[in-house]
């Protein structure tokens, strides 16, 4: 069975002092947690400070974005090498806010995805439909096209990836998807991974749900074996709510390593 992963996406929140305090709070509360993988993704500016706090612990560090070149004249961008030098393990890619506000295309996300894998970072690839798509019955069409654009004809050579299904209408709205709706899309994603990458990837890849996850609704998703954890935005900004989610998963889900 896949080990659950709870990843906190801090988005554009937290100064360095605030980030350090939040990371310390999370570390103190979760230092004995073994049954759930935990990652925190602060803004670039706070990565180094947070890395120092969680150094040597089981909490992993992630970034929220990356560029697809190692170095060069790309003003304002951050490369995989830089993230590795700070101790990052994960990188969120294709988050809907990047697709929407920064017009990131599937093509760009694919370039980032390939580079990240090549550099031994683990991509957390986000896919999800917006409200219009859902109302028009196009949820799977949209999710499938985002997924296929990145994964088609890719050779992963055993490298790990994570997928996050995040319906755009559920992000930051307080209105999460229903567990069964998330299950339906996530099951389809797993089937599609099988077609694109084979049985091994389909059964080993962790697929998360994201969108208004809180301690009191996390088990709506984690009751299903198909759903392997969550990408958490708002609720990852406070120690109590983030730790609350991890603890619910740790105690509420029966799983074996």
Interface residue list for ligand PGA (CB under 6 A) = 9, 166, 171-172, 210-213, 231-235
CA neighbor of 144 nearest in space, from 103, 109, 92, 196: 196
Query: Can you list the positions of beta strands (E) in the chain?
Result: 5-9, 37-41, 59-63, 90-93, 122-127, 162-165, 206-210, 229-232
Nearest CB to ligand PGA, comparing residues 40 and 171 = 171
User: Is 13 an active-site residue?
Assistant: no
Q: Which of 4, 36, 2, 60 is nearest to 201 (CA)?
A: 2
Q: How far is the CB of 85 from ligand PGA (least distance, A)?
A: 25
Verify whether residue 166 is a known catalytic residue: yes
Least distance (Å) between residue 166 CB and ligand PGA:
6
Closest-approach residue to ligand PGA (CB) = 233
Shorter beta-carbon distance to ligand PGA: residue 87 or 172: 172
Least distance from C-beta 230 to ligand PGA, angstroms? 8
Residue holding tokens 């993704």? 41
Annotated catalytic residue: which of 95, 104, 129, 220?
95
Between CA 8 and CA 234 the distance in angstroms is 9
Closest contact distance (angstroms) between CB of 41 and ligand PGA is: 9
| Distance between CA atoms of residues 17 and 166, nearest Å | 29
For ligand PGA, which is the closer residue by CB, 80 or 210?
Answer: 210
State in angstroms the smallest separation of the CB of 211 from ligand PGA.
5
Nearer to ligand PGA, 172 or 215 (CB): 172
CA atoms within a 13 Å half-sphere pointing along the CA-CB vector of 19 = 25
Q: Which is nearer to ligand PGA, 139 or 212 (CB)?
A: 212
What is the rounded CA–CA span in Å between residue 145 and residue 151? Answer: 10
What is the CB neighbour count within 10 angstroms for residue 99?
A: 20
Q: What are the distances in angstroms from CA 225 to CA 4, 148, 153, 255? A: 10, 23, 28, 9
Catalytic residue (one of 33, 129, 166, 220):
166
Q: Among all residues, which ones are annotated catalytic?
A: 95, 166
């Amino acid at each position: 069975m896949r080990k659950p992963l709870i990843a906190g996406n801090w988005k554009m929140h937290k100064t360095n002092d605030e980030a350090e305090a939040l990371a310390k709070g999370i570390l103190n509360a979760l230092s004995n947690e073994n049954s759930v993988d935990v990652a925190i993704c602060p803004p670039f500016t706070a990565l180094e400070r947070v890395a120092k706090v969680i150094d040597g612990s089981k909490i992993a560090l992630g970034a929220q974005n990356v560029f697809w070149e190692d170095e060069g004249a790309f003003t304002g961008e951050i490369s995989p090498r830089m993230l590795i030098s700070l101790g990052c393990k994960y990188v969120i890619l294709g988050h809907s806010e990047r697709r929407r506000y920064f017009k990131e295309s599937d093509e760009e996300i694919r370039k980032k995805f390939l580079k990240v894998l090549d550099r031994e970072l683990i991509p957390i690839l986000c896919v999800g439909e917006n409200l219009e798509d859902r109302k028009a019955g196009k949820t799977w069409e949209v999710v499938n096209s985002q997924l296929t654009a990145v994964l088609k004809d890719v050779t992963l050579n055993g490298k790990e990836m994570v997928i996050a299904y995040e319906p755009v209408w559920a992000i930051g709205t307080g209105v999460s998807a229903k567990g069964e709706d998330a299950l339906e899309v996530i099951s389809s994603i797993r089937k599609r991974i099988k077609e694109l990458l084979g049985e091994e990837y389909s059964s080993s890849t962790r697929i998360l749900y994201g969108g208004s996850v809180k301690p009191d609704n996390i088990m709506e998703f984690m009751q299903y074996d198909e759903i392997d954890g969550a990408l958490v935005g708002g609720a990852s900004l406070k120690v109590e709510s983030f730790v609350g989610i991890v603890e619910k998963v740790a105690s509420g889900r029966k799983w074996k390593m």
